[in-house]
Amino acid sequence: MIWQNYKLGNTISKTPEPVTLWKTERCIIEISSDTLAVPIKLDDEEKGYVLHGHGKLLLDAIVETGEGAIGKSIEKELDEPFLMLGDTKEMQEHFTESSKEDFAAMDYENQQEFLDKAEDLCSRFFREREHNHQSFDGDHGFIFAFPNEAENLDILVAKNSKLVYKAEDVVFVSNKDKVVLKSQGEVVCKNNGKSVVIKKDKSVIIKKTLF
Amino acid sequence: MKIELTEELKEEMKKLREEFANLKEQLKDVTEKERERKRGIHIDVGTNVREYIDDVMEGVAEGIHGELEKCVFIGPKGVKILRERPSHRREHQIEVSLPKVAVVMSALGHEHRLRILKELMSGGKYINELQEKLSEITTSTLSSHLDVLEEAGLVVQEKVRGRHLITIPGRTAYKMARRVTRFLERRDYK
């Protein structure tokens, strides 16, 4: 059973109210009201959605070390269709039926145009990667894929306090106080107050801090 | 291209070995003559010594080959020699942006901002925690000071958590400001 066998659902819904898709101490993903949503199905079971509305991703990709803070907060406007895989049961409660006006509001001439865009996104995500059904299920958290300016996909994988974010210029991995950040040629690892910074000039700084 | 280079290296190594063998022979003669002259003792260079020298030469050859592999990149567009410049030379080549210097110095040029940096040296803080520590500064003034520090890259704010953290340049700038002041005070330049 592999993800390449996915199918998009026929019913396109919308969110009547803003919805917080994911929220932790470091990350928030929100979508606005009137966000369009088409389900991604595998063996007739909903495994996620392609969503298109006005949303926002906020992620504190910052590591505080004894040398000072490294990294920045990522603030990404979610104005393009993006993909979300994970437990859909809770999401289903937030959806209502969509209308022609909802498609027009998102600059779509009709429903098919949105479905084509959703299909294109899924195709890029699933066919460019080898996803195994056993390796990911709703119980294993969420996967988000956001198109970026370089026409690639920024990937965010989240489960409880664990988070992995990979974009063009940054890779951020965190699990509570354990953090790894690769940004602008620097690599920072922090665990339990101990930090290792590998700088651009290949110098390595190892420090222990109280914070 | 790689095969050609390997062949050239082998040829060079062969020549080196021949030269080394000649030199060894000459040295042997000279040494024997000298020893015979001085003490009348004759010593033959044994097989073990030759093997040892051969081993050393092999090691040297491998070393040269390894170094060449590290610095010569053979790609589809040809051979590229990778040279690493010493870091101090790179430092001199970096242009210092004077407007940026002015922004940083301006951010440091206020007692309240220096006190904020000092508080943040012990770890990231929420604005209310800073407010408690710096009670004489109003919340709006504190916010505008934090904006100035953030603009200069000395402080960064976590957008989700809301904490303010001192950055690496922030720590360096704060320490530098203190050092300069201490130096001036010591020299009594007022």
Question: Would A206 be classed as within a structural domain?
Answer: no
Question: Would A199 be classed as within a structural domain?
Answer: no
Task: State the total domains in chain A.
Answer: 1
Tell me the pLDDT of chain A (211 aa) as tens digits. Answer: 466 678 899 899 999 999 999 999 999 999 999 999 999 998 888 899 999 999 999 999 999 998 899 999 999 999 999 999 998 888 888 899 999 899 999 999 999 999 999 999 998 888 766 655 455 555 668 999 999 999 899 999 999 889 999 999 999 999 988 999 998 888 999 998 888 888 887 778 787 776 6
Q: Is B160 in CB contact (< 8 Å) with chain A?
A: yes
Question: Would A184 be classed as within a structural domain?
Answer: no
Question: Would A201 be classed as within a structural domain?
Answer: no
Question: Would A203 be classed as within a structural domain?
Answer: no
Q: For the segment B13-40, what is each residue's pLDDT rounded down to a tens digit?
A: 888 888 888 888 888 877 777 766 655 4
Which letter, b or e, does each residue of B115-137 get, where b requires 16 or more Cβ atoms within 10 Å of its Cβ?
bbbebbeeebbeeeebeeebeeb
Domain membership of residue A147 as a residue range: 3-178
- All domains of chain B in start order, with CATH: 2-81 (no CATH), 95-187 (1.10.10.10)
Pairwise CB contact (< 8 Å): A211 & B158 = no
End-to-end Cα distance, chain A: 46
Taking alpha carbons only, the member of B143, A89, A51, A78 closest to residue B130 is B143
Who contacts B190 (Cβ-Cβ below 8 Å, separation ≥6)? B184
Which among A27, A68, A210 has CB closest to B168? A68
Q: How far apart are CA A113 and CA A150, in angstroms?
A: 22
Q: Is A161 in CB contact (< 8 Å) with chain B?
A: no
Q: Kindly state the DSSP code that residue A78 receives in the 8-state scheme.
A: E
Q: Measuring CA to CA, how many Å separate B34 from each of B5, B22, B45, B87?
A: 42, 18, 15, 51
Size of interface A-B (CB pairs under 8 A): 55
Pairwise CB contact (< 8 Å): B161 & A26 = yes
Question: Would A208 be classed as within a structural domain?
Answer: no
